[in-house]
């Protein structure tokens, strides 16, 4: 049950962070939505271009338990550096 809630939150974050699939001559691509980038910047309290675990958790305050937030963060932190860059926060889809 706890994992399902966490995955739903991840899905909501990803879908809220990405705009509609746009097609160009280069093929389909996802375009990050302006409001989503602004939301990332608002969470980035120290303005270093990355979200620490604490900054990420503040953005999910009340939406998940601390344990769920930690699990989501760990899954999103692909390079395991303890930070979420925009590439990890706005992942490219695998088509």
Model pLDDT, residue 68: 92
What angle do helix axes 2-17 and 34-43 make, rounded to 10 degrees?
A: 120
Question: Is 42 within a domain?
Answer: yes
Range of the domain at 77: 2-89
Model pLDDT, residue 9: 62
> Which uninterrupted H or E stretch holds 56?
helix 53-59
CATH number at 16 reads 1.10.238.10
Model pLDDT, residue 55: 94
Residue with the larger pLDDT of the pair 61 and 28? 61
Question: Is 94 within a domain?
Answer: no
Q: How many domains does the structure of the chain reveal?
A: 1
Residue with the larger pLDDT of the pair 35 and 83? 83
How would residue 28 be classed by pLDDT, with cut points 50, 70 and 90? very low
Question: Is 95 within a domain?
Answer: no
Question: Is 23 within a domain?
Answer: yes
Residue with the larger pLDDT of the pair 14 and 69? 69
**What own/partner pairs with CB < 8 Å and gap ≥ 24 does 53-59 have?**
53/82, 56/84
Question: Is 10 within a domain?
Answer: yes
What is the residue-averaged pLDDT of the chain? 73
CB atoms < 10 A from the CB of 7, how many? Answer: 14
Question: Is 14 within a domain?
Answer: yes
- The rounded percent of the chain whose pLDDT value lies above 90 is 37
CA separation for the pair 90, 15 (Å, rounded)? 9
């Amino acid at each position: 049950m706890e994992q399902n809630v966490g995955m739903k939150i991840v899905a909501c974050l990803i879908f809220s962070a990405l705009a509609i699939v746009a097609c160009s001559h280069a093929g389909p691509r996802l375009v990050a939505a302006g409001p989503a980038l602004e939301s990332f910047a608002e969470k980035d309290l120290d303005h270093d271009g990355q979200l620490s675990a604490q900054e990420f958790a503040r953005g999910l305050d009340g939406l998940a338990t601390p344990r769920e937030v930690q699990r989501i963060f760990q899954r999103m932190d692909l390079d395991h550096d303890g930070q979420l860059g925009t590439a990890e926060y706005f992942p490219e889809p695998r088509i």
